[in-house]
Structure 1
Amino acid sequence: MTKVKIPDGWQETKLSKLLTIRNGKDHKNLKDGKYPVLGTGGVIRYVDSYLYDQPSILIGRKGTIDKPQFITSPFWTVDTLFYSEISPDVIPFFLFKVVQSVNWQQYNQATGVPSLTATTINNVKVCIPSSKNEQKKIAEILGTCDRTLELTEKLINAKRKLKQALMQKLLTGKLRFPEFEGQKWKVTKSGKVIKFFGGNAFSSNDSCESGIRWLKIANVGIESVKWDDISFLPQHYQNQYKDYLLHDGDIVMALTRPILNNRLKICKLSINDVPSLLNQRVAKISVLNNSINNIYIYFLLQTRYFINSMNSLLMGNDPPNIGIKDLENIQINFPTNKDEQIKIAECLNSLEKMIINLEQQKELLTKQKKGLMQQLLTGKIRVNQ
C-alpha cells in the first residue's frame, strides 16, 4: 500500500493527542431546565445541570456513530454519546471538521447495533496542520459553507411553510382573489373530473442496460423525479406501449407507500424526464374535461384534506397501497371558473419553482463543500499564505 504523503507543515497524530473522550451519563433524575440533553439523534430534553461547558465534539458510542456533532454551549450527553475535552493546541471547529471527515463505519465494532469504544476513537490517526493559523483559516472557510447551507435550508423551510399555508387557504376558498369573490365552487368525487391511469406491469426480464427509461415507484419523489436508481426498457417499447409513454408536463403519483412524512409523492415531469414508460403502482394524473386545470389538480392532491383522506384508506394495509377506485371516491372542491383555478395554480407553481431552485442550490453547495473538505483537510489546497 502506498503511504500517503504528509504535506509540508502538517503532522500525523492520533486523536488521543488532540482530545480526551468522556462518557455521557444518565439524565433521568435531573430536573427540567435550560441545558440540552443530547443523544445521537439530537436534543432529547432540557435539564437544570450540565456535564461540560466548553466547545466539544460529540461522537456516537452506540447507534448512529457516523454523525459527529459540535457544540459550544453547556450541555449534557446520554451514555450512548461520547463528548470530548479538546486540547488547547488545536482549533475546536477545525478538529470537528477533521472528525467529521473520518469514515466511522469502518471502525464499527459490532455485528448488530453499530458501536465505537473510546480506545478505538483514540487510536484513529489524522493529519493536521501544525499551524493553528492554518487550522483557523480552514475552519473559517468550512464554517462559511455550513452557514450558507443552513441559510439555504431555512429559506427552503420558510417557502415550504408559505406554500402549505397558501394551499390550505387558496384551495379551500378561504382566501380568494378579489376578481373572483362571490363566484361558485363545486364539490364532487375526484373520479368525476380526474383520471388516475395506472402503469403497466412490465416484467423484470424486460430490463436492459440502455433504451427508454422505466419510471417506477422509486423514481417518484415529492415534487420531483428521482433518477438515482435508473432502469431501462427496450427502445422499441416506446412504440409498442404508447398508452404508457410519458411526456413533458405529465403528472405522476405513487400508489404504494404514496405518503412520506405527511407529504404526497407526486411530481410533474420535465423535458429531462422523458421519454419514459409508466410502471405499475404509479398513476398518471390527468383531467377528464377542459373545464379543469391540471396544475390546479396537482396542488389540490397535495392538500392536508386529500392526504388525510388517503391515510384513512391506507390504514391496515402492509405495504400501504391505494387503489384507483379509492382515489376516485375522495371528494374534492374547485372553482367553477377555470380562470380562478389557473390563477391559484400559477401562484402556487411560482412558489414551488422557488423551492426547487433553492433545493438545487443546496445540492450544489453540498457538493462544493464536500470537495472543499477533501482538498482543505488533506493539504491539497493550502490557505496559510
Structure 2
Amino acid sequence: MSMKEGWVYRKWIDVLTIINGRNQKEVESKNGKYPICGSGGIMGYANDYLCPEETVIIGRKGNINNPIFMNQKFWNVDTAFGLVANTTYLLPRFLFYFCKEYDFERHNRAVTIPSLTKKDLYDILIPLPSICKQETIVTKLDKLNEILVKKREQLKELDRLGQAIFYDMFGDLQSNICNYNIESLNDIFELITDGTHQTPTYTIDKDNGYKFLSAKDVVSGSIDWTNVKYIPHELHEVLYKRLAPRRNDILLCKNGTTGTCALVDTDEVFDIYVSLALLRPYAKYNPIYLVHAINSPCTKMQFNDALKGVGVPNLHLGEIRRVKIIVPPIDFQNHFERKVIGIESQKQKIKQSIVEVQQLLDYTMNKYFG
C-alpha cells in the first residue's frame, strides 16, 4: 500500500491493547448481563466482562478472518482476542474496518486449525490519518453499511408478504383444510446433502477466488452475497467436484438461523460449507413453492423439534429428510408462483441494488485500506 499524504504507519502495540479471552464456565449465566463472544459472535451470557464497549473481536484460533465490532461490554472466550483501540491515535470503528480488509491468514502459524499469536498481531502496521480524517472515513463506511441493512430489511418484509400469501392459499400443516398431500422432504428432493466438513482456507483474492457460502449467508429466504468469503481455486476444484450447486437448488441452514432456506436463483459458481444443506428438487415440483413451504412456521417447528447438539444446535441430514410439508397439485404450486412473481421481481431489484452498494463499499474499503 502506498502511503497517503498525511498518513503514518504505526505498529498495533503502539495504538491498541489485545485482551486475551478466557474460559467462560465460571461466569456463564442465563440471566447474565454481558454477552459471551467467540470469533463467530455471541455464544451465551455472563455476569462479568473482560472487554469494554467498542472492542473489535478477532479469532485467536479457528475463524481468524471474521472481525466483529461490539458496542457493549462482553466476555471473550479463549479462542478470541479483544482489540481495544487507544483513542488518542485510533478510532475503534476505523480499527474494525481495517481488520475487515486485512488478511490475517498471513500470520497463521498452524498447519491444521488456523491460529494467531499476540506477538505477531502487535507487529502489524496500521496506516493512520488524523483522528478527524478517521471520523470522515468511518462516517462514510457506516453510511454505506446502514444502506445495506435497510435494504436487507426490505427483503425480509417482502418475504413476510410472500409467507402471508402462502398461508392464505394453503393454510398450515396441522389443519390442512384443503386435504392436500403431505410428503417428506426425502420424497420431494432427489438430493439432500451438505457442504464440505473440511475447515476451509480463505483468500482475499476475489478476482481469482471462488465464493464460499455458509449459514450466515442465507437470510430470510434469500442468499446474501454481500459478505461472502472466498476460497482459492485449488480448493474450489476439489469441493466443486463433490458438489456443484446449481440454479433452483435450495440452500438450508443446519445451524445459526436453523431451518431457514433460500433458492439458488443464479448461475453463479460457488461452494458451500457444512453449515448449509443443499436440497435439489425433482422436476415435478415448483422450487419457489418449496422455498415458501419450508420457510413456513409449521416447518420451522419441525426443525426446532429435531435440533441436535448441546452447544451449537445443529440439524442432521436425517432429520431434514423426515420433515413433512403440504404438497398441493403442481397447478396450484404454479399459481402460487404467479401470485408472488411481483414480490420476487421486487426482491431481485433490491438484491441488485445491494450488489451495487456492496461494490461501492468494497471500492471505498480498498481505497483506504487496500
- TM-score band by shorter chain is 0.5 to 0.7
SS in 2 for 1:112: coil
Give the aligned partner of residue 366 of structure 1. Answer: 358
Q: Compared with structure 1, are the counterparts of its residues 101 and 186 closer, same or farther at alpha carbon in structure 2 (3 Å cutoff)?
A: same
Letter in 1 for 2:116: L
The residue aligned with 1:94 is: 94
User: Is the Cα contact below 8 Å between 1:196 and 1:285 reproduced in 2?
Assistant: no
Partners of 1:301 and 1:48 lie apart in 2 by: 41
1:285 partner SS: coil
Distance 2:284 2:57 in 1: 51
Asked whether the 8 Å contact 1:185–1:334 carries over to 2, the reply is no
Matched, 1:356 2:348: yes
Task: Check 1:353–1:11 CA distance in 2 against 1; reply closer, same or farther (3 A cut).
Answer: same
Aligned equivalent of 2:51 = 52
Asked if the contact 2:170–2:178 (Cα under 8 Å) also holds between the matched residues in 1, the reply is no
CA distance in 2, matches of 1:356, 1:111: 41
The answer as to whether partners of 1:299 and 1:345 remain within 8 angstroms in 2 is no
Report how far residue 141 of structure 1 moved: 0.4
Q: 1:118 to 1:306 in 2, by over 3 A?
A: closer
SS in structure 1 opposite 2:127?
A: strand
Q: 1:116 to 1:172 in 2, by over 3 A?
A: same
Structure 1 segment 309-328 matched on structure 2, within 5 A: none
Name the counterpart of 1:117.
117
1:22 corresponds to 2:22: no
1:259 Cα deviation (Å)? Answer: 8.3
Looking at structure 1, the residues matched to 134 and 73 of structure 2 have their Cα atoms a distance apart, in angstroms, of 24
Cα pair 2:64 2:115 within 8 Å, conserved = yes
Instruction: Report the alpha carbon displacement of residue 5 of structure 1 after superposing the two structures with TM.
Output: 3.2
Aligned to 1:209: none
Q: Which residue of 1 aligns with 2:131?
A: 132
Determine if the alignment matches structure 1 residue 377 to structure 2 residue 369: yes
Q: Does 2:346 match 1:332? A: no
**Structure 1 25/170 Cα, relative in aligned 2: closer, same or farther at 3 Å?**
same
- Which one is further off, 133-142 or 153-162? 153-162
- 8 Å contact from structure 2 (residues 65, 104) kept in 1: yes
When residues 303 and 167 of structure 1 are mapped into structure 2, their CA distance, relative to the original with a 3 A threshold, is farther
CA–CA distance in 1 between the matches of 2:266 and 2:57? 42
Equivalent residue number for residue 285 of structure 1: 283
After superposition, what is the alpha-carbon deviation per residue over 1:171-216, rounded to whole angstroms, capped at 9, x for unaligned?
2389xxxxxxxxx9564589xxxx9999xxxxxxxxxxxxxxxxxx
What SS is found at the alignment partner of 2:69? strand
SS at match of 1:133: helix
| Structure 2 counterpart of 1:345, from 328, 332, 337 | 337
After TM superposition, the structure 1 = structure 2 runs for residues 1-385 of structure 1, keeping only pairs within 5 Å, are 4-30=1-27, 31=29, 32-87=31-86, 88-129=88-129, 131-172=130-171, 185=178, 187=180, 252-253=248-249, 262=259, 285=283, 332-333=327-328, 344-377=336-369
Does the 8 Å contact 1:262/1:307 carry over to 2? yes
Structure 1 residue 148, shift from structure 2 partner: 1.4
For 2:352, give the aligned amino acid.
Answer: Q
TM superposition shift of 1:369:
0.6
Matched letter for residue 137 of structure 2: I
Structure 2 alignment gaps of length 5 or more: 192-212, 238-246, 269-278, 303-315
Q: Give SS of 2:82's match.
A: strand
Residues 253-280 of structure 1, C-alpha deviations (whole Å, 9 max, x = no match) = 57xx88876466756789x9xxxxxxxx
Cα distance in 2, alignment partners of residues 369 and 137 from structure 1: 14
Residue 302 of structure 1, CA deviation: 5.0
Given that 2:189 and 2:281 are in contact with CA atoms closer than 8 Å, whether structure 1 keeps it comes out as: yes
Instruction: Quote the Cα distance in structure 2 between the aligned partners of 1:61 and 1:164.
Output: 41
Once the two structures are TM-superposed, the CA of residue 358 in structure 1 deviates from its matched residue by 2.1
* Partner SS state of residue 23, structure 2: coil
Q: Matches of 2:114 and 2:71 in 1, distance apart?
A: 26
Whole-angstrom distance in 1 between the partners of 2:25 and 2:189: 52
Report sequence identity in percent: 21
Aligned partner of residue 121 in structure 1, secondary structure: helix
Give 1:170 shift.
Answer: 2.2
Query: Under a length normalisation based on structure 2, what TM-score does the superposition of the two structures give?
Result: 0.62
Deviation at 1:153, TM superposition (A): 2.2
* Aligned residues between the structures: 293
Larger Rg: 1
Instruction: Give the distance between the partners of 1:269 and 1:96, measured in 2 at CA.
Output: 32
Q: TM-score w.r.t. structure 1 length? A: 0.60
Change (3 A) 1:106 1:268: closer
Q: Secondary structure at the match of 2:62?
A: coil
What does residue 204 of structure 1 align with? none
Q: 2:341 corresponds to which letter in structure 1?
A: N
